């Protein structure tokens, strides 16, 4: 299955506790989103957070939306 890296900006000063809380919130909705959230990393100084995830279901073909 495809793997993705979400990049979030503007989180300067994020703590390990806040990152864990956000990752746990992602885990709580991963079934609804059709992904498996693997891991999250943060650089508190730059405010950048990276979240690795893997899509469980193949994306719908674009023709499904026409």
So what's the pLDDT on residue 56?
A: 82
Q: Determine the pLDDT at residue 53.
A: 93
Architecture of domain 3-58: 2-Layer Sandwich (3.30)
Q: Which of 41, 53, 49 is nearest to 9 (CA)?
A: 49
User: Residue 52's pLDDT band (boundaries 50, 70, 90)?
Assistant: very high
Give the C-alpha separation, 54 to 57, whole Å.
9
pLDDT in tens, 2-41: 899 999 999 999 999 999 999 999 999 998 888 999 999 9
Confidence (pLDDT) at 59 = 61
């Amino acid at each position: 299955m495809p793997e993705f890296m979400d990049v979030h900006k503007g989180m300067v000063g994020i703590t390990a506790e806040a990152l864990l809380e956000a990752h746990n919130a992602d885990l709580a909705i991963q079934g609804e989103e059709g992904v498996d959230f693997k891991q999250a990393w943060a650089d508190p100084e730059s405010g950048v957070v990276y979240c690795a995830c893997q899509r469980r279901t193949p994306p719908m073909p674009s023709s499904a939306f026409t």
